[in-house]
Amino acid sequence: MTGAPPAFPPNVVVAIKALACELPHEHKLPLSRLSLADIQHEALQRGLVASIGQSTLWRWLSEDAIRPWTHRTWIFPRDPAFEHKAGRVLDLYHGEWEGKLLSPADCVLSTDEKTSIQARRPIHASLPAAPGRARRVEFEYERKGAWAYFAAWDVRRAKAFGRCERKTGILPFERLVAQVMDQEPYRSAPRVFWIMDNGSSHRGQACITRLQQRWPTIIPVHTPVHASWLNQIEVYFSIVQRKVLTPNDFQSLEDLEDRLLRFQDHYGAAARPFQWKFTRDNLKALLSKIQAHEAHERMLDQAA
C-alpha cells in the first residue's frame, strides 16, 4: 500500500549495521568474525528486533558494502621517510623523477625475488578436464626441490626478465641485474631506475654502491619498509602464481624452471604496462587517514 511505513524503522537498520561493524570480542563473544547467522542471533538477543530474516540482513549490509565475515591484513607504515620514499616510486610509475618528466630512453624496472617455489610431482598423473568434470590433480606428491625466482618487470615496456637460483642473496640478484643490463635498451639507456624493496639481497646504501660501481647508469630506488604493495613486480608475481604455479604439478625442478622462463615470453607477447592509478594525492589521503586512526587509538589508550 502506497505510503505505508517500512517493516523496520530506520533506527533499527542503523543499529544492526553498527552491530555488524563491531569486533566480536568487544562483546565477549567467542568468535573471530561475524556471519549473517551470528548477526541475526545477536540482533534477537539484544532485543533490536523480534524477528528478522537473513535475506533482509544481507540486503541492508550490501547497501554499505559491509562484510564482517571477511578480513584483510595490513601493516601500519613504520618508515619515518615513508611519504618521501613512496612518492619517488609513484612518480616513476607516472613518468617523472625529481619533478621532471622521464625521457623516452629512460628505463624503469621493478624487481624482487619469489622464494621457495617448490616443484611437486603428484604421485599419480593429473587428469585433464572433461565434460562435467574439473581437472584432477593428485593430493599426494613428491617434493622435487625448490627455486628462488629472481625477476624484473619493465614498467614502461611491459616486459619480464627472470632467472631461477638455488638460493637468494646478493650474487644471485646481481646475476639478474647483469642479465638485464647486458642487453638493449638497458645497456645504452641514459638512466635505468631499479625499484626494489629492502630484502637482504638488495638492501640499503651498500646495494646502491655496488650496483652503481658496476653500472653507473643504474639508479636504485628503495621502497619504504613494509611497502611491497608499491612494487609492481608483485603484480607480475601474482600473475605467475595464478597462471603458472597453480596447480603445482611439475615433474622436476627443470620442468618448473622451463615453465617459469617460457612464461615470461608468452606473457610479454600480449602484455601491456600495468595501469597504476594510485598517485601522490592518494598517498597523502591514506597517510592522513592512518594518522587520524593512530591519534584516535592514543586517545582511547589515555582514557583507559
State residue 162 phi and psi, 5-degree precision: -165, 165
Predicted local distance difference test score (pLDDT) of residue 73: 78
The answer to whether position 97 is within a domain reads yes
Q: 118 and 32 in one domain?
A: no
- Would residue 258 count as lying in a domain? yes
- If asked whether residues 59 and 89 sit together in one domain, one would say no
274 part of a folded domain: no
Q: How many CB atoms lie within 10 A of CB 237?
A: 19
pLDDT value at residue 302: 81
* 259 within a domain of the structure (yes/no): yes
| Residue 104 covered by a domain | yes
**Is 218 in contact with 211 (CB distance < 8 Å)?**
yes
The verdict on 213 and 249 lying in the same domain is yes
The count of domains in the chain is: 2
Do 33 and 98 reside in the same domain of the chain?
no
Residues 109 and 51 in one domain: no
Residues 171 and 229 in one domain: yes
Mean pLDDT by 10 residues, the chain (304 residues): 68 95 90 94 94 94 95 80 95 96 98 96 90 90 95 98 97 98 98 96 94 97 92 97 95 96 95 94 90 81 76
pTM above 0.85, yes or no: no
Q: Which amino acid is at 142?
A: E
Residue 102 shares a structural domain with residue 25: no
Assigned C-alpha cell, 189? 639507456
Q: Is residue 279 situated within a structural domain?
A: no
* Residue 210 in domain: yes
CATH classification of the domain holding 193: 3.30.420.10
| Domain co-membership, 139 together with 259 | yes
Are 163 and 224 in a shared domain? Answer: yes
Please indicate, yes or no, whether residues 18 and 148 belong to a single structural domain of this protein: no
Residue 25 sits in the same domain as residue 90: no
| Backbone φ, ψ for residue 132 (5° rounding) | 75, 10
Claim to verify: residue 245 and residue 164 sit in the same structural domain: yes
3 domain-assigned: no
pLDDT at site 296: 78
Tell me what pLDDT residue 3 has. Answer: 57
- Residue ranges making up the domain that contains 56: 10-63
